Amino acid sequence: WADRVTLRRRMGCSPFFAVTGAHPLLPLDISEATYLLPAPESVLSTTELISCRAIALQKRREHLSFLHSAVLEARIQEAIRFEREHAHTIRNYDFQRGDLVLMRNTAIEKSLSRKMRKRYLGPLIVISRNRGGAYILSELDGSVFHRPIAAFRVIPYFARLKIPIPPLEDLLDISTERLRELEESILADPEDEESDSELPGKSEDRL
């Protein structure tokens, strides 16, 4: 297979293309590994190119493991570089219990009428955060959103005021067991949910 899909100098195309009139779709293009070799450092001979294709098609486990670790490390380094270069614009508000916040209304961002609709909903009360970093929010009357809200959707409500929260069992409309379940989860709400375009006091946004 590697020999038949490799370009021939005398033909100007691969044997596969000469027979079928179409460029081959390599198995690597439709499987989990797209390319199992490092970038070439120089021009390759035909023999070297065929051998490289053969190695790639073997999909050896050690090659897959190496590529996985290399890609993961590259992503981590890119994230570190991005945070370093944008240190003045990236903000981690780290809201505490009782802080008043606004929630970004992401459901309207693809709507043609978004300029006439509310960009943020609230104010809301911060109850806590879950293990994934999303915030557990509630209405001013204690009605808790049944899904944690992703941190990027939450911004401060500049009222220069922090509301003291009474005991949770007296304020919230959910049990403390359900609150613990939300805190232990690592999930956040889907940002394109249509229900988020409505006021957070609606029943579908609460338990």
How confident is the model at residue 201, as a pLDDT? 44
- Domain map (residue ranges) of the chain: 15-85, 100-205
Alpha-carbon gap, residue 153 to 91, rounded angstroms = 12
How confident is the model at residue 137, as a pLDDT? 92
Identify residue 121 by its one-letter amino acid code.
L
Listed range (14-23, 57-66, 67-76, 109-118) with the worst mean pLDDT = 57-66
What is the distance of C-alpha 78 from the center of its chain?
A: 15
pLDDT tens by residue, 28-63: 554 555 555 667 788 888 888 888 877 776 666 776
Listed range (21-30, 109-118, 149-158) with the worst mean pLDDT = 21-30
- Chain-wide mean pLDDT for the chain? 77
Across the chain, where does the E strand assignment appear?
Answer: 100-104, 120-129, 135-138, 154-156
Structure token pair of residue 139 = 């209405």
The pTM of the full predicted model, rounded to 2 decimals, is 0.52
Alpha-carbon gap, residue 35 to 64, rounded angstroms = 9
- CA dist list (Å): 106 to 114, 120, 154, 162, 206: 10, 9, 11, 26, 18
> Which helix (H) or strand (E) segment is 18 a member of?
helix 15-20
Listed range (100-109, 162-171, 174-183) with the worst mean pLDDT = 162-171
Answer yes or no: are the C-beta atoms of 206 and 144 closer than 8 Å. yes
